[in-house]
Structure 1
Amino acid sequence: MATNLDTLVTVFGGSGFLGRSVVRALCKRDYRVRVAVRRPELAGFLQPLGRVGQVHTVQANLRYPASVEAALRDSHVAINLVGILAESGGQTFDAVQAKGAETVAKAAAAAGAEMVHVSAIGADEESPSHYARAKAAGEKAVLAAVPSATIFRPSVLFGPEDQFTNRFAALARMSPVLPLIGGETKMQPAYVGDVATAIADAVDGKAKKGATYELGGPEVLTMREIIETILAITGRKRMLIPLSFSLARFQAAFLQFAPGALKLTPDQVTLLERDNIVSEAAKAAGLTLEGLGIAPDSLEAIAPQYLWRFRSAGQFQRNGA
């Protein structure tokens, strides 16, 4: 009788923010997990997520097809999580999110492997955002090579190691004033653990083949409401200064070279001009977290578990202190 231990799942980008949650979810379901990353020597922290020998890391770079083909040898399922928020050198949106996704899909097809591909809500060939256009091109290439592939489009993700809630909490610790870009733009923040569960469910065969799911949390919040929630959780009172998109783009021309939480690119500003929420069509078709039987966790329920470190008195600070 076949078991999950007989199934080898290769995860591209498994050492990233979403990746480590996906690896954890797969290990809990007893799959053998091969993690394909550019720097496997830096991915040792994934080993304790499974039993001895359950997680194995290998070198692969989506810009080099031979390395991707080698990583997928004898694999039953390929999961592509690789994505970037900003371009750097050869790591461009087109190279990573369009051509890279195509490379994984073609290698998966050649290996006879099923595929799960993670894109993003907002992926659109006609989008003014280069990021969103590349995501759409990646989806198209994946389905052309593996028509049975399941595609997940999450909204903005939050969780302990995210670059979203942690970023704003860090900025609030540094500055008494926070710029508010796209304050009325709507988002549907999804907990990274819920999205990882959805991906593991797809590997289990619970998701529809060839379908595109849109994954959002239980609440639709404006950007202003999200930042206000983060400030409330961290016990910080900060003035929010609304910035027009034109002024934000001007600042981003310089801040795209800034380090850490200060970094902001013109393309990220463009993305903030559009709502990032689950469509009515996806809801009607049941192509959502709820459609998979997952009750999504809210920002208010999860974020206090890790944002306490940004409070002035840490985890011992009382609310309102």
Structure 2
Amino acid sequence: MKNALLIGGTGFLGSALACRLASADFALTLPTRRRERAKHLTVLPTASVIEADVHDPATLARLMAGQDLVVSLVGILKGDFQRTHVELPGKIARAAAAANVPRLIHISALAAAPDAPSEYLQSKAAGEAAVKAAYPQATIFQPSVIFGRGDSFLTLFASLLELAPLVPLACPEARFQPVWVEDVVSAIVASLDHPESQGQTYPLCGPRVYTLRELVAYTGWLSGHPRPIIGLPLALSYLQAFVMEWLPNGPMTRDNVRSMQVPNVCPQGCTLPFGLAATPLEAVAPGYLAKQ
């Protein structure tokens, strides 16, 4: 049995990856700030969910001992990007290198670039650089927006559509190429059997590009709550996001709007690595969004 440390392993993508690795006979260590939020993973027979501060270098060093695989999964859409997307991945990579961990995988984001218009995308690029500087053989994945049961993407739209009589939509023509969470997990797991993936970066996308308007409309149709969609121009998109920043758990920020100025799509002709086939959104979304 091999050992794997999943940092950020109690989140949406991390939970899916934990289930897959547990079924592949990995012994998992899943650090979290609050263990009660990870009760869904305590049932995995090979998983150990522990409370730990992964920002503390000494704690990281202790967690790295004896690991065969470390996966860096932590990501946020608002908050302290420098601490979460840049400093933490650098700490993880340095700790993994110091402990001679054989494999390190880092989850970044599609369209991450130093000159991107948003702090989110800039910080993701800086995090990649920090990982590569400390652990050059790390494998990096850059998924587009990830969908699946329990996501914070289509599920969020469905919740909003149930409540709102109409939808004033920021950046309605923003382009996305959503990728199924299980396809992302498959790419991560497959990379372990491909030594040539070390030191490489892989964008991950689904088979089709959509506008945000199309995605919201499709979600409304599936969930039984179709609503009129009013596309907002850029200035009003920023104004809407500014107002939402003041709401508890507001669904959008101005930095999110800046991120949407960059198409969240893979290069033309790009496919999933390792011979994997991307699953269409339409084959999965009805299973968790359709009105029962």
TM-score where L is the length of structure 1:
0.87
What secondary structure, in the 3-state scheme, does the structure 2 residue paired with 1:79 have? strand
60, 78, 96: which one pairs with 1:108?
Answer: 96
Q: Does 1:297 align with 2:279?
A: yes
What secondary structure, in the 3-state scheme, does the structure 1 residue paired with 2:264 have? coil
Paired amino acid for 1:198: A
Q: Does 1:93 align with 2:85?
A: no
Alpha-carbon deviation of 1:207?
5.9
216, 229, 234: which one pairs with 2:223?
Answer: 234
CA distance in 1 between partners of 2:32 and 2:133 (Å): 24
1:56-94, Cα deviation, whole Å (9 max, x unpaired):
12333343212222211111111000011111xxxx100
Distance of aligned partners of 1:217 and 1:80 in 2 relative to their CA distance in 1, 3 Å threshold: same
State percent identity of aligned pairs.
Answer: 36
29, 35, 39: which one pairs with 1:40?
Answer: 35
CA RMSD of aligned residues (A): 1.6
Residues 169 and 237, structure 2, Cα contact 8 Å, conserved in 1: no
Residues 59 and 67, structure 1, Cα contact 8 Å, conserved in 2: no
Residues 170 and 240, structure 2, Cα contact 8 Å, conserved in 1: no
1:210-243, Cα deviation, whole Å (9 max, x unpaired):
1100000111111111112111211222110011
What pairs up with 1:104-143 in 2 under 5 angstroms?
104-113=92-101, 114-143=103-132
**What 5-or-longer segments of structure 1 have no aligned partner?**
316-321
What pairs up with 1:1-321 in 2 under 5 angstroms?
5=1, 7-48=2-43, 50-51=44-45, 54-87=46-79, 92-113=80-101, 114-205=103-194, 208-260=197-249, 262-280=250-268, 283=270, 288-289=271-272, 291-308=273-290, 311=291, 315=292
Q: Which runs of 4+ in 1 moved over 6 A?
A: none
- Between 59-68 and 76-85, report the one with greater CA deviation: 59-68
Residues 190 and 216, structure 1, Cα contact 8 Å, conserved in 2: yes
1:268-290, Cα deviation, whole Å (9 max, x unpaired):
1111111001124x82xxxx42x
CA distance in 2 between partners of 1:61 and 1:237 (Å): 43
What secondary structure, in the 3-state scheme, does the structure 2 residue paired with 1:292 have? coil
CA distance in 2 between partners of 1:253 and 1:235 (Å): 30
Paired amino acid for 1:33: L
1:118-158, Cα deviation, whole Å (9 max, x unpaired):
00001111112001111000000101111110000000011
- Between 106-115 and 222-231, report the one with greater CA deviation: 222-231
1:3-57, Cα deviation, whole Å (9 max, x unpaired):
xx1x111000110010100001111211111112222343232022x33xx1112
Residues 241 and 253, structure 2, Cα contact 8 Å, conserved in 1: yes
Paired amino acid for 2:156: R
Residues 117 and 261, structure 2, Cα contact 8 Å, conserved in 1: no
Residues 234 and 307, structure 1, Cα contact 8 Å, conserved in 2: yes
CA distance in 2 between partners of 1:37 and 1:164 (Å): 23
Q: Which residue of 2 aligns with 1:319?
A: none
Residues 181 and 272, structure 1, Cα contact 8 Å, conserved in 2: no
Residues 108 and 124, structure 2, Cα contact 8 Å, conserved in 1: yes
- Between 159-168 and 37-46, report the one with greater CA deviation: 37-46
Paired amino acid for 2:83: A
Paired amino acid for 2:204: L
CA distance in 1 between partners of 2:52 and 2:130 (Å): 19
CA distance in 1 between partners of 2:106 and 2:53 (Å): 16
In the alignment of these two chains, the number of paired residues is: 291
CA distance in 2 between partners of 1:138 and 1:60 (Å): 21
TM-score where L is the length of structure 2:
0.95
CA distance in 1 between partners of 2:69 and 2:226 (Å): 47
Residues 191 and 274, structure 2, Cα contact 8 Å, conserved in 1: no
Paired amino acid for 1:270: R
